[in-house]
Each structure stands twice: as structure tokens, then as C-alpha cells.
Structure 1
């Protein structure tokens, strides 16, 4: 109890908490984009349940990993040497997760650009996955993102209560943002392609990190923010054109 009181009145602890919360929320965005795209492939009545289940599993996994901080630290220790390149368990998990993201995003892009009849498109967009398959894939990526998240937390602070608060806060934000983000992605087909592009970039970043090439997260998220801004401008432009065409059609009818 005395330890918690000391943390509560420590300015350094509050700064560490604020910084870590921001980092965890940003890392959670990657996880949320994947969950949103994947659950949108399910039948409508299963999507909300799958999203909540996926995010809940992410929270359980993160808290479970936090309870084994000593084991998490060991994940960063070298375990294998291949042609002079040393890999830890964390590196191999990140590489596997990155490859999975590349495969998944590339497959989804292929389905999006493949020429099909409208009926086939509608069918493939709603019944491509079963609930069990979707949850299995979400669980796999939850593990990758959770390990990345907890290793980041362990590297930023040594205080377990701060880690727990930051992780729970990030998952709560994910839970609140899940429905609006999934609806926005589902309602805007061009955003789906943009989000899949983000997943490819995140996958490549994970692979690079696994091979020891540190990629500053600021660069990655700045690129994502810039791309999102361009897409928003495109959406506003398309909306303005549709409105103009509708007004012209109304004028001609009059």
C-alpha cells in the first residue's frame, strides 16, 4: 500500500503513466485495424460479438503476460544464431506475426481486386470466415501485438501498477473505438484498401524489428496519418461531386 501511495504522489510516475498510455493506445490501433477488417468478413449478427471477444482476449493476454514480467524479459535474450544473425523468441514471434499480416493483407487485397459477379462479391464479403476461424486469427495476432505491447511497457517503466493501468486504458479505448472504426471501414470500401495497406506496412515493420532493424514508430504512424488525411480529402471530394451532380440532375428535371 505504501508503494502505491509513493507512486501516486510521484510526478515521474505520472509522466511515465501518461507516456506509456499514449504508446499502448497507438500500438493498440494496429491490433484494432486487423480486428475490424477481419470481423467485417463475418455475417452481420456475429460481428459485434467477435470484436468484443477479440478485444477481451487481447486484454486477458496482456494482463497474463504482465504477470510473467520476468519471462517476458527472457524473451529478448538470444536463443539462436543463423548465419551470424542472432534471434530471440521475441524476434521470431514478431517475424511470424509480420509474415502472417503480409499473407492476410495480400489475400484480402487479391479478393478485393479480383473480378467477380456482384453476387459472388456479396457472398465472399459476408461468409468468407466462420466465427471460429476469425477468432483463431484474431487470437494469433493478439499474441503478437500483446508481446510487442508488453515488451514496450517493460522497457519504459519498472513499475507493474503503471503497466497494468496503461494496458487496461489502451484496451478500453480499443473497446470504445471498435464499433465506430469497423462501421467506418465497412461503409467506405476505399478505406478498406487503405487499411490493408497499413497492415502490409505494419507487417513489414514487425519483420524488420524481428531482424534487428529498429523502425521508429513515429515514422510509421506519421505515414499512416498522412495517408488517412489524403483519403479523407478524397472522400470529401467525391461527396462534393455527388452533391453537385444531384443538384444538376434536379435542375434539369425542373
Structure 2
């Protein structure tokens, strides 16, 4: 209790908490995009439940990893050297997750391009089962959770701060999940943009697994710029539709 009281009275601890919450929320965008696109392929009545389960699993997984933080930190230690480069378990996890994201995004782009126009969203929603959706969400939850926890450990040594930041970030994801998924569902052009984001994120994860660090600032700046351009396109289309009407 004395430890918590001292922590609460420390301005440095509050600054670390605010910074960590902001970082966790931003890192959660990747996970949320994947969950939104994946659950939109389910029958409509199953989508909210799948999102709640997927995001709840992310919370459970991250809190569980925090309880093993000493072991998680060791994941950055080299375990094998290939072609003159030392790889850690974290590198293999990032590469595996990146390959999965690239494969999934490429597959979804292919299905979107090949799908007949008349099928609409209802036809594509039945292309995946509930269990398969949760299993795929769980795989990406693990990858993003490991990366999130390792990043958090690099910013603060205080477990309570990490726990609060993770809980706030996941609750924010939970609140934003349905509005974001519904927005993506009702704006088909956004789907392709979001899949492009996932493809880029997967490529970056693979690059980081091979030791090529890519600043997250560049990634999210590119994503924000692309989203801004698409927002202008959507506004332009709506004005043209009104003018024609």
C-alpha cells in the first residue's frame, strides 16, 4: 500500500502513465482494424459478440503476460544466429505475426477484388465461421500483446502503471470496436484502405523481426495521411451524389 501511495504521489509516474496509455491506444489501432475487418465477415448478429470476445481475450492475454513480465523481457535475448544475424523469440513472434497479417490481408484483398458486385456484404459475411474468426483474432492478439508489453517495459518499471495503461487502452478498443466496424462495413472503399494498412503493418512486423527498426511515427503518419485523403474522397462523392439527386 505504501508503494502505491508513493507511486500515486510521483509526477514522473503520472507522466509515464499518460504517455503509456497514449502509446497503448495507438498500438491498439492495428489490432482493432484486424478485428473489425474479420468480424464484418460474420453474420450480423454474431459480430458484436465476436468483437467483445476478441478484445476481452486481448485484455486477458496482456494482463497474463504482465504477470510473467520477467520472462517476457527475456524474449528479446538472442537464441539463434542465422546468416550472421542473431534472432530472439520476439523476432520470431513478430515475423510469424507479420507473415500471418500479410497472408490474411492479401487473401482479403483478393476476395474483395474477385467478389461479384451483386453478392454485397451479406454474401461475403458468411465466408468465415465464428470459431475461425476468434482463433485468428487470438493469434494476432498474442503478437500485438507481446510487442505491447515489451514496449511498455521499456518505458516504465512499475507494473501497476502498465496494468492501468493496458486496461484503459483495451477498454478504449472495446468502446471503439462497434462504431469502427460499422463505419468500415458501410463504406466499402474504407475496407481496401484498411486492408492496405494491415498489409503495411505485416510488412513492418517482418522487417522488425529481421532487425530493421521502422519508426512507428512514420507508419501512423502515413496511415493518417491516407485516411485524410480517403475522407476527402468520401466527402467529394457525397457532394456529387447530392448534386445529382
Give per-residue Cα distances to partners, 1:106-130, cap 9 Å, x unaligned: 00000111153623x5564111100
Q: How does 1:26-37 map to 2 (within 5 A)?
A: 26-37=26-37
Q: How does 1:25-174 map to 2 (within 5 A)?
A: 25-114=25-114, 116=116, 118-119=118-119, 122=121, 124-174=123-173
| SS of aligned partner of 1:79 | strand
Give per-residue Cα distances to partners, 1:202-235, cap 9 Å, x unaligned: 0011111111111110110000000000000000
Q: What is the aligned-residue RMSD (CA, Å)?
A: 1.0
Which of structures 1 and 2 has the bigger CA Rg? 1
Partner of 2:187: 188
Partner of 1:14: 14
Query: C-alpha distance in 1, partners of 2:64/2:204?
Result: 25
Shift of 1:46: 0.4
Query: C-alpha distance in 1, partners of 2:242/2:200?
Result: 34
Partner of 1:177: 176
Q: 1:115 to 1:61 in 2, by over 3 A?
A: closer
Q: 1:222 to 1:73 in 2, by over 3 A?
A: same
Gapped runs of 5+ residues in structure 2? none
Are the aligned partners of 2:43 and 2:122 in contact in 1 as well (CA < 8 Å)?
A: no
Gapped runs of 5+ residues in structure 1? 247-254
Query: C-alpha distance in 2, partners of 1:29/1:5?
Result: 32
| SS of aligned partner of 2:204 | helix
Q: 1:112 to 1:50 in 2, by over 3 A?
A: same
| SS of aligned partner of 2:193 | helix
| SS of aligned partner of 1:206 | helix
After TM superposition, the score normalised by the length of structure 1 is: 0.95
| SS of aligned partner of 1:87 | strand
Point out 4+ residue stretches in structure 1 off by more than 2 angstroms.
121-124
Give per-residue Cα distances to partners, 1:125-159, cap 9 Å, x unaligned: 11110000000000000000000100000111000
Query: C-alpha distance in 1, partners of 2:205/2:97?
Result: 7
Query: C-alpha distance in 1, partners of 2:125/2:115?
Result: 17
Q: 1:122 to 1:166 in 2, by over 3 A?
A: closer
